[in-house]
Structure formats: structure tokens, C-alpha cells
Amino acid sequence: MGEERPKTRFAEKEESVRIPGHAERPEPPQAAISRILRQAAPYMGAAWVLTGGLLAGLFGGRWLDGKLGTEPVFLVIGLTLGVFVGMAEVARVALKRGGPS
């Protein structure tokens, strides 16, 4: 007739409530970083296209203006084209991925 020990919440596994969508174990940090980068990659690529379009328009427009002597004309045209190309890529990626979650 041994003495019965009081039950603590750590001594005995209690029934747990399972939340849909949550894993049993926490995700390792490397897996979490990998998952986040995989999800963000299309948006980072679109940002680079936007940046590249702006820079190509800037330097291409300045170069053409220097060659042809039409000071701000091709600079403005190049920057405008760069913005349109970049924004089209951002919109394409956002619409393909379903927009912000």
C-alpha cells in the first residue's frame, strides 16, 4: 500500500488539443529560413527586375543623350520604360502568387 504520488502536469501526458495547421514539433531554424526564402524568392526577383529596369533606363538614356545631344529626352524615356517593365514584373509575380497573404 504505497503512497500515491500527486499527479502533476509534467508527470503524466495529458490529452492535448490539436490545432489544425500546426506541426507537432517546432520547425528547425534552417528549415524555417529555407521555407521563407523559397516563398520570398519570386518577390526578390521582381525587385531586382524593377531595380535593373530603372538602372538600365537611367544609364542607357544618359548614354543616348550624350551621343545625340538631346539632354533629358532619352533619360526620361529610359526611366519611364524601366518603371513600366519593373512594375509589370512586380504585378506578374503578385498575380501569379495570389497577392499578399
pLDDT of residue 64: 94
Higher per-residue confidence, 66 vs 12: 66
pLDDT at 1 over 90: no
| Residues contacting residue 7 through CB under 8 Å, at least 6 positions apart | none
Largest Cα–Cα separation, the chain: 104
Residue 13 has pLDDT above 60, yes or no: no
Q: Give whole-number Cα distances, 19 to 15, 36, 38, in Å.
A: 13, 22, 25
Indicate if the pLDDT at residue 12 is higher than 70. no
pLDDT digits 0-9 by tens, 41-98? 888 888 898 899 999 999 999 999 999 999 899 999 999 999 999 899 888 888 886 6
> pTM of the predicted model, to two decimals?
0.60
Residues 58, 75 contacting (CB under 8 angstroms): yes
| Higher local confidence (pLDDT), 80 or 8 | 80
Distance of alpha carbon 70 from alpha carbon 65, whole angstroms: 5
